[in-house]
Amino acid sequence: MTQRPSSSAVALWSALFWIFLGSVWPLAAPAGEAPKGPRPGDPYLSIPLNTLGFDPVPTRLLVGGATMFTLHFVDDTHLLLTFNSRGLIPRINDGAPQDDDRLITALLVELPTGNILARTTWHTRDHEQYLWPLAHGMFLLRIRSRLSVIAPMRNLGQADPFQQQSFLEMNHPIGYVSVSPGGDLLVVETITPPRSGVDNDNSPASPQVVQIPTTPNVEIRFYRMVYQTGRDDLPTLTAQAAGVVAAHNFIRVPATSEGFLDILQESNETWLFDFQSHAGKRLQLSPFDTTCAPSPYFVSRTEFVALGCRGSETRLMLSGFNLRGEQSWIQVLSGQQIAPMIIAAPDAGRFAFSRVLVAASYYDLQNLVPEELSGQEIQVIQHYDGRILLKVMASPIQRTGQNFDLSPDGQNFTVIRNGNLDLFHLPELSRKDLEQVKLAAAMVERNDARIRLNPIRPETATKTAPAQTEGRPAMTINAPTREPEAPKANAGDANPDDGPRPAPSLYGPDYPRNPKP
């Protein structure tokens, strides 16, 4: 007698049959209806990195602060991907003992086809950050202390789309570079080498011995980036020197080409933001209730966000502000973090916020190991209301960032994760979103005044320095190969002919006195 299968067995075999059928025979969309796209939160395009020649990178280098790859939108439909490449490194006669040469492959990738339109190789001399996005599809490339501009889309029809146009040559080793949202202000921080024959106490020393000061002398130079229409209606770029100040450490300056944020402590739980125009106008902005010193980041010329905390430095929060004096929203963040990074799309009023999550209770920022970190979280946020549009995890973690980007129109997001280059569609801008973008742009009061960083403030106000760049500087500081000319500018002023000036109240040769690690 044949035993009939149970109802549960029939159901199981039926489910397995339909799963198999669905895997080999995808269901077609109904007639007249377009096929469904990716589910919300899923990438619409995923390109395997190994098909582009991208090799896995040792995690210890990424966690330690090296920049091993970068990912940027050139425009809304093209990506610039760069990464370490293998090959025979040519010998150059100007080599120095501290050099750490490597080859970088750069690819111009078309979207959504994934086709490689152009390729080149750069020979860099260290493992620090080498690329910064500007505006109009231009990028700043650093080789040692030389800065060049590349524009791969503009030069696509030429023999070398990645041809380098000389831009700035610094006399001192570069230690830190930053570009404001929209690419309107460039900040280059260099290390001034100690003078031979003079030690830290200004007493004579042996001519053969160079005394290294306990705190380096840093020159912070500001350049306004001027984009003008050139041949074939394509923009050309020039840099206008806008100021230079002195400091003891590399410092992230919260500034735009119009002004900078001055930070004052009102009480143990309240900090004040003032926007100081380079032309002298001062705006009192919304206070920030935080028990630790805030870290502000501009996301457009008139909007910024700030990191703070409540009670302890592990109870973190992110808040949105603007130059109208409004504090629009607060987001409470969970877990410990390091290496916060902001990438903005000002024309869409959006920004991407990245942070590396720390799993260990105690850690040494200078000697991190991969096991102490739990991931790299990235959120895409609409600034005026704090709305979270997308949240993803990048993999592998790159402490210096540059493994994700927003398109200039704010409609697409890309990230490197799990061996793929993933691309996501973001929600269309609503009517209210567009109104807020126009409102923010209308607040810009342009000026070309010299950048001094010395605001006038009440005598009772606490003088607070901008946040230092986390951990070690963005670039390794190498000993100079030649003695540069001594700077002639006064601290806080680019023009020595104006006579002596008081030390800047944000920072100067005496700030920060006790820098945090």
* H or E segment and range at residue 126: none
**Which amino acid, 237?**
L
Phi and psi, residue 39, nearest 5°: -65, 155
Torsion over CA of 17, 18, 19 and 23, rounded to 10 degrees?
Answer: 100
Q: Would you state the pLDDT for residue 455?
A: 65
The pLDDT tens digits for 309-346 are: 988 777 899 999 999 999 999 999 988 999 999 999 99
DSSP 151: -
Q: Which residues contact 113 (CB under 8 A, 6 or more apart)?
A: none
* Chain centroid offset of residue 30 CA: 45
Helices (H), 298-444: 431-442
Prediction pTM value: 0.80
Query: Which residues are CB-contacts of 39 (< 8 A; sequence separation ≥ 6)?
Result: none
Which DSSP string do the residues of 321-377 spell out, in sequence order? EETTS-EEEEEEE-SEEEEEEEEEEGGGTEEEEEEEEE--SS--GGG--GGGEEEEE
Which amino acid is it at 515?
P
Q: Mind listing the pLDDT tens digit for each residue in 44-67?
A: 999 999 999 998 888 888 888 889
pLDDT given at position 251: 87
| Residue numbers of the chain with a pLDDT score lower than 70 | 1-40, 95-97, 194-216, 230-234, 455-517
Q: What is the pLDDT of residue 313?
A: 72
Tell me the CA distances in angstroms from 438 to 300, 346, 427, 431, one per residue in order.
12, 10, 18, 11
- Tokens 């990506």 correspond to 79
Considering only CA atoms, which of 109, 183, 103 is closest in space to residue 149? 183
Residue 480 has what pLDDT? 30
Q: What does the pLDDT read at residue 37?
A: 58
Helices (H) and strands (E) in the chain, counts: 3, 28
